[in-house]
Amino acid sequence: MHLSFFFKPLNLLILILYFSCSIFFIHINTPRQTRLDTILESGKITVITSNNSNCYYFYRDGYMGFEYDMAKAFADYLGVELKVLVSDKWENMVSDLTKAAGDFIAANISITDQRQKDVVFSKGYMEIEQYVIVHRNNRSIKKISDLLGKTIYVRRGTSYQEQLESIKNRGVDFTIKFVEDLPTEELLRRVAKKDIKITIADTNIALLNRRYFPGIKMACSISQKENLGWAVKAENRELLEKINLFFDLIKGNGRFKKIYNKYYEGIDSFDYVDMAIFHRRLKARLPRHRSIIIKASEKYGFDWRLIAAQIYQESHFNAWAKSHAGAYGLMQLTRSTAKSLGVKEIYNSSQNINAGVEHLRNLYNHFDKSGDSDRLLISLAAYNVGQGHIWDAMNLARKKGLNPYQWQSIMITLPLLRYKKYYQKAAFGYCRGTEPVNYVKRIMVYYDILKYQGIEYRALNKRSSPQQKDYASFLSR
């Protein structure tokens, strides 16, 4: 083409239009980078969640929680690493999502019209209702109208607040007392202890926590059925579609049910630790494990009655026991603990008991700065909740001017780790701190009974059956 062609005005205009259109078409045909693309390229995805028993927490050997396990499964599905960002308040979660500090919210969040103004939600993965929660002896509330004149405690910014305000607007007058930075489970505990009379909880949270606080009762529903969902930013539609495909997949292949059952199986049934059952099981179940308990206790330097009391607390002497938290056998060993102690068959009574007692001894050896009685109780608590949380409780005791090596101090500081004010500064984060305290108390009650029975059964007369004499000899050893 001759150079004179380019200098003619009309031809120059044609060339400009040609190249402009070419650049335009190249631009529109180039795929834009989506958030999902960025996640896959970086090899990691960040979930925004809460540090509590329903979502995400540290227990014994590692992290767990229903939302955490679901998010981990989603990360595995994408082939990326899961990162966790803890942000308890709803408004903080949305802020973290908006600032791209995290990729999606998975925090036991119900899908409401108000929340859909800020984010877009996935398909619902669990159906729930909101229930009025009272103490089991409270028979005054059976329907919504019975809330008239009552005081109800909830955390500000929750869907419970939205629902209660809607009910008030319909003419049922009651007082809403707002609490700051307290998880629902803490309010349930306070109802069980009769510190407050009424709170609200989703069905999954209420049923799960009846295991820990059997004094609570679900009085009446205050909502229609709602769904829990995961949330993303409105522009991240590709990520949302991937989440929905993931939910379809795990509900189809049984993965969702497996995760659900780990935390919620049997939540609609529970029983009290009944002393009559304890005595019956001592006679029916304890003798079959007696020689193993005695030998393991002697090997590692413990009173066998203490180990028997711990085994009852862990498994009620059921060699096939499996907890919702993934612990197995008589001494409720986790897979990782069992493997580290050389256990080949986790349900084998001898291997399970010996490994459990060895694990307790290792913990006991670690807490060597405490006196003997404190050391034992601290070791039992560490067996229940993990060594890391005990370190956190000890550090907190130091800050409060308490002796970190005394059980009395740990009894004060360990339960504080359920409050955000304390656990956000702790190395191992949120801890259901009242549980190990109660765990130790119950073991010591059973231990005391066993010691007493060891004396009592010596009085069995000569007319006792061979089985009774054998049992008496075992108890009084």
Structure letter (DSSP) for residue 208: H
User: Using an 8 Å Cβ cutoff, are 187 and 160 in contact?
Assistant: no
Angle between helices 304-315 and 349-366 (to 10 degrees): 110
Query: How far from 211 is each of 264, 265, 266, 312, 332, CA to CA, in Å?
Result: 10, 11, 10, 17, 17
Instruction: Tell me how far the alpha carbon of residue 143 is from its chain's centroid.
Output: 30
Name the residue with tokens 């803490």.
Answer: 186
Residue at 430: amino acid letter: Y
Q: 288: which strand partners?
A: none
| Rg, the chain, Cα only | 29
Burial class (CB in 10 A: 0-12, 13-18, 19+), 454: middle
User: Using an 8 Å Cβ cutoff, are 230 and 112 in contact?
Assistant: no
User: Using an 8 Å Cβ cutoff, are 249 and 149 in contact?
Assistant: no
Q: Phi first, then psi: what are they for 124, rounded to 5°?
A: -70, 140
Cα 345 to Cα 470: distance, rounded to the nearest angstrom: 29
Structure letter (DSSP) for residue 23: H
Angle between helices 290-300 and 349-366 (to 10 degrees): 30
Nearest to 393 by CA among 357, 443, 429: 429
Cα 168 to Cα 344: distance, rounded to the nearest angstrom: 60
Of 185, 226, 314, 358, which residue is the catalytic one? Answer: 314
Cα 297 to Cα 304: distance, rounded to the nearest angstrom: 5
To the query of whether residue 314 is one of the catalytic residues in this protein, the response is yes
Spatial CB neighbours of 270, under 8 Å, sequence gap ≥ 6: 210, 211, 214
Sign of the dihedral defined by the CA atoms of residues 346, 389, 385, 68, in that order = negative
Q: Which residues are catalytic?
A: 314
